[in-house]
A and B are shown apart, each in its own frame.
Chain A
Amino acid sequence: MTTSEPTSSYKPYTLSQTLTGHKRALSAVKFSPDGRLLASSSADATILTYSTSSLSCPSPAPLHRLSGHENGISDIAFSSDGHLLASASDDKTLRIWDLLTASPLSTLRGHTNYAFCLNFNPHSNLLVSGSFDETVRVWDVKSGKCLRVLPAHSDPVTAVDFNRDGTMIVSSSYDGLCRIWDASTGHCMKTLIDDENPPVSFVKFSPNGKFILVGTLDNTLRLWNFSTGKFLKTYTGHVNSKYCISAGFSITNGQYIVSGSEDNCVYLWELQSRKIVQKLQGHTDGVISVACHPTENMIASGSLGNDKSVKIWRQEKD
């Protein structure tokens, strides 16, 4: 897939759609694993879901608005089959929603401060969440019980993720650490630390689960081999010193790293060469979250309070 001159064959993304349904700043945008749905969460305490196929219509209407949280929502996650959506809120709870009926199924209580990030495991029987209470919690989706509380960090937890077979959890925190946990036992397997240790704002496993993509509040994204503890790639050029901005792997046409930025742009780097191949301009405030469609060449981005919109970017067709 990778060519030595990626920029020459690169087809730029262009703005295809702007969705304005939220009243306050966006916090997260996600595509469902099957690509059928797009969901966005916001500080206005609601979640909007869209059918991906409707996004090419002139003014797509959301499928559902999920409301119930008392405070702003910081993160959302789809279950693998796309039937469930989980949300983490500043009301300290997590909620699980049934997307077929757009109704709340359960409320998971336990965090003692803002719930900030969450993810399902691939089998979607477990949910992991991180919070400002500095813990990582593992929940049984079916019973809604907290199975494990990991005293993970000494500062707010900014991101949590399962690897592709669900055996490991990675967590990141303002304390400058990333930790890897054995999902079945809750034991800490590894701690990753940078010499400088800037606050870690984001972490995510690579699609094959061998590496982690780590965002730090010194305007840097790194691809890290967690088993050796070595940095493999560094991606810079964007602005990220304040917010927990999400990033992702775009693998549908070539391999790119995609991230939001506080300079109102979405950045795309070529994975291997680490060169910026495109800056997507259009938002009028910082881009807090990005998501790549699992099969199509489509990127969704959500922006902060001055903008409040979700933008859909597509690659030009041949």
Chain B
Amino acid sequence: MNAPIIDPLQGDFPEVIEEYLEHGIMKCIAFNRRGTLLAAGCADGTCIIWDFETRGIAKELQDKDCNAAITSVCWSKYGHRILVSASDKSLILWDVLSGEKIARTTLEQTVLQARLHPGSSTPSLCLACPFSSAPMIVDIISGTTTVLPVLISEAGNGIAPNARSKTPDGSTTYSPSTACFNKFGDLVYTGNSKGEILIIDHEKVQVRALVPVSSGSIIRNIVFSRNGQYLLTNTNDRMIRIYENLLPMKDAHKVLDELHETLDEADEVEKLKAAGTKCLSLVQEFQDSINRIQWKAPCFSGDGEWVISGSASRGEHKIYIWDRAGHLVKILEGPKEALMDLAWHPVHPLIVSVSLTGLVYIWAKDYTENWSAFAPDFKELEENEEYVEREDEFDLMPETEKVKESDVNEDDPVDILNVEKDSAFSDSDMSQEELCFLPAIPCPEVPEQQEKCVGSSSKLPDGNQSESPLSVEAGQNGHAANNASSPLEAMENSVAGETEGTRLKRRRRPSEKGLELQAEKTKKPSKTMKPSAFATQYIVGDDSGWNTEVDYYAWLEGKTFYVGDVLVFSYVKTDHNVAMVDASGYNNCNADSNYGLYDTGYDTFTLTTPGDVYFICTKAGSLCTRGWSSNLLICFLFGFSSRCRAVFSYVKGDHNVAMVDVAGCNNCNADSNYGVYDTGYDVFTLTAPGDVYFICTYHCDYADQKLKVTVQPSP
């Protein structure tokens, strides 16, 4: 509705945490179709419905029989119903307006994800993806279930056992699988453990097409864009793939039936594959070639133009944003809390993310007030323009003013009634009343401060990453929202552009040793020292661990270490070791006898004093990582390999950046040779080895906002 006067210069993806929602421990979230309400499933089995306009709680759905954590929430198409799945194996269907339970059914296994049939406004059919068996169609009111096939047996026309009642031994072929409905719900797209998408006509319980995605790696997520034109998959090979849906939106299953008649391959599997090529075509692949991180909760933006995904690494809250053409445009970095769920607002450039601590963060654009909106006669320019004064600019010409008035003919009819259809919801079936809002009944006037206090004191999460990282932020940075306000923190921006080109070839070996290591990891943490209340534990290199294949400079970026933080080095015992050394040891790659050399495969170091710490692996001589941690300052020293750039992104007007020499750094004087930059996004290419210094001339002096970068010669 307000589209005609929205400022086109404001971009359309979020940048900063605008606000957070706090109520119990929220686990999973879902927007209704218009984005006016946000449903959140909590660890105690309640489902909170937030009014997203007021950011207040509009309703709480609580079943007295269910106090197990909610694993997924799903809205019906017109928002009248909500389906939740809980870890006590139950599925509950709610009527949103009345807040009453319509039906509850208990399955044999916990459902990780349940989705309502999108075709009906009062659906009772849903698609449930249990923890370790095939997806099934459940009629939640009658309680009947139909297990969908997940594997095609190579033998021929057969479909893998459609086990209705599984025995523990018989179901071993199943591993977690994922599935979703297409836009109108006539087909189900499932992803299986063999890396295949099966397109299933769920009424006939028949596989209609097969699309191989990646051989052998499990499909973790499968998600349609809101308009149904694109599909994404997240696979264990750390890739997100975007497919274009080639089938028509409506009656897709009929088109598939026709397709089958025209195909004449004898082999059933080949036939399904041939049909598959007519259903989906791969358009894009996304991965983080540097860190090789696993993805979590990928999804499309409301208009399908963007793709976002969280990092599955523990202890970080990173959201990657790509445009559909495949460019990484932004990495959002939140507090050091693992990300649990992610959703993009259906209409606005807003992202909400759920953290391990149970908070919901709302990411929005960092809006810069457009002052020309206040002063209509002015126009904001991107850059200075030369103004050529008209010859008669200051001449008095009374007639011209009259002319201006006449460009509107007041007799032209105006239409004050008709509304253009909202293009974003063009498929709306107008005959259906949509539930967008819950009636707001004013609360009686009571002081309502207590709620907040209770919330924060009982907020400790149940996971193993429970070192309350929030308090780190609160204590030292103010709450989380100051993302990217200083140039140093904002170095995250450089991750993508800087290193992608040079390191595309890195491969990860998913060896047995890697798995052994995983097992060890889970056992060991009990041995780690008890850090102080504010400490954070970092697994160096995250999932990749400590080896020559990880770019630790990239890993370091955006991380701030405080005294008390714990660094965990996890590596293959026979290949690597770890030694804490001083600067000379780092430069010469010699282990320091004072600190000793560790080679257990899992070693932890607690940072005890402010200052530089260096770690090396003596076996792989080139593997040197150093970080300069300090108690208050957020600074790093980076060693760069050869050609590299330093990117400073900051709030224009608040900061600037100047490259200086050592004297300039000490005296906080900008060097006239290099100049001061203040565009808000400045890039320096570092060409020669040696030390370079950067300062913000506003804050160098009293806030010590300076950075030393050491450029090392190429190895």
Say yes or no for B56: interface residue by CB 8 A criterion.
yes
Mask of B339-355 contacts with A, CB within 8 angstroms, 1/0? 00000000010000000
* Interface size in chain B (residues, C-beta < 8 A): 45
Give the nearest-CB partner of A97 in chain B: B442
Say yes or no for B504: interface residue by CB 8 A criterion.
no
Q: State whether A208 touches B419 (Cβ < 8 A).
A: yes
Say yes or no for B5: interface residue by CB 8 A criterion.
yes
Mask of B437-474 contacts with A, CB within 8 angstroms, 1/0? 10111111100100000000000000000000000000
CB distance from A157 to the nearest CB of B (A): 15
Q: State whether B412 touches A188 (Cβ < 8 A).
A: no
Q: State whether A165 touches B1 (Cβ < 8 A).
A: yes
Q: State whether A142 touches B443 (Cβ < 8 A).
A: yes
CB-CB under 8 A for A227 and B5, given A84-B442, A142-B51, A190-B376: yes
B416 contacts which chain A residues (CB < 8 A)? Answer: 206-208, 210-211, 223, 249, 251, 255, 271
B377 contacts which chain A residues (CB < 8 A)? Answer: 193
A210 to B376, CA, bound (A): 19
Residues of chain A in range 81-128 having any CB-CB distance to chain B below 8 Å: 81, 83-84, 96, 105-107, 121, 123-126
Give the nearest-CB partner of A107 in chain B: B445
Say yes or no for A66: interface residue by CB 8 A criterion.
no
CB distance from A259 to the nearest CB of B (A): 15
Q: State whether B1 touches A83 (Cβ < 8 A).
A: no
B408 contacts which chain A residues (CB < 8 A)? Answer: 230-232
Contact partner of B440 (CB less than 8 A), chosen from A125, A182, A255, is A125
Give the nearest-CB partner of A251 in chain B: B417
Q: State whether A142 touches B1 (Cβ < 8 A).
A: no
Contact partner of B373 (CB less than 8 A), chosen from A126, A191, A208, A230, is A191
Say yes or no for B215: interface residue by CB 8 A criterion.
no
A190 contacts which chain B residues (CB < 8 A)? Answer: 5, 373, 376
Give the nearest-CB partner of B413 in chain A: A272
A251 to B415, CA, bound (A): 11
Q: State whether B376 touches A191 (Cβ < 8 A).
A: yes
Mask of A176-191 contacts with B, CB within 8 angstroms, 1/0? 0001101111011111
Q: State whether A167 touches B2 (Cβ < 8 A).
A: yes
Contact partner of B439 (CB less than 8 A), chosen from A83, A223, A274, is A83
A234 to B2, CA, bound (A): 24
Say yes or no for B172: interface residue by CB 8 A criterion.
no
CB-CB under 8 A for A142 and B440, given A188-B373, A189-B6, A232-B408: yes
Q: State whether B443 touches A144 (Cβ < 8 A).
A: yes
Interface size class of A (residues with CB under 8 A): 35 or more
A121 contacts which chain B residues (CB < 8 A)? Answer: 53
A142 to B53, CA, bound (A): 12
Give the nearest-CB partner of B54 in chain A: A140
Mask of B348-379 contacts with A, CB within 8 angstroms, 1/0? 10000000000000001001011001111100
Say yes or no for B58: interface residue by CB 8 A criterion.
yes
A182 to B419, CA, bound (A): 19
A125 to B58, CA, bound (A): 9
CB distance from A7 to the nearest CB of B (A): 16
A226 to B407, CA, bound (A): 16
Say yes or no for B522: interface residue by CB 8 A criterion.
no
Say yes or no for B274: interface residue by CB 8 A criterion.
no
CB distance from A95 to the nearest CB of B (A): 10
Looking at B2, B373, B407, B417, the one whose CB has the most chain A CB atoms below 10 A away is: B2
Q: State whether A189 touches B5 (Cβ < 8 A).
A: yes
Looking at A164, A191, A227, A231, the one whose CB has the most chain B CB atoms below 10 A away is: A191
A192 to B373, CA, bound (A): 9
Residues of chain B in range 20-54 having any CB-CB distance to chain A below 8 Å: 36, 51, 53-54
Say yes or no for A168: interface residue by CB 8 A criterion.
yes
A167 to B443, CA, bound (A): 24
Q: State whether A125 touches B54 (Cβ < 8 A).
A: yes
Looking at B51, B54, B377, the one whose CB has the most chain A CB atoms below 10 A away is: B54
Residues of chain B in range 367-404 having any CB-CB distance to chain A below 8 Å: 367, 369-370, 373-377
Contact partner of B376 (CB less than 8 A), chosen from A83, A211, A223, A229, is A229
CB-CB under 8 A for A147 and B54, given A142-B442, A167-B2, A191-B375: yes
Q: List 26 A–B pairs whose Cβ atoms lie within 8 Å, in order of A's numbering.
A: A106-B445, A121-B53, A141-B54, A142-B51, A142-B58, A143-B56, A143-B448, A144-B445, A147-B54, A168-B2, A182-B2, A184-B53, A188-B369, A189-B2, A189-B6, A189-B7, A190-B5, A193-B376, A206-B417, A208-B416, A223-B414, A229-B376, A232-B408, A233-B414, A255-B416, A272-B411
> Footprint of A on B, CB under 8 Å?
1-2, 4-7, 36, 51, 53-56, 58, 348, 364, 367, 369-370, 373-377, 407-408, 410-419, 436-437, 439-445, 448
List 14 extra interface pairs beyond A96-B442, A182-B2, A251-B416, CB under 8 A. Answer: A140-B440, A142-B440, A142-B441, A144-B443, A147-B54, A163-B1, A168-B2, A189-B2, A192-B376, A206-B416, A210-B415, A229-B376, A231-B408, A231-B410
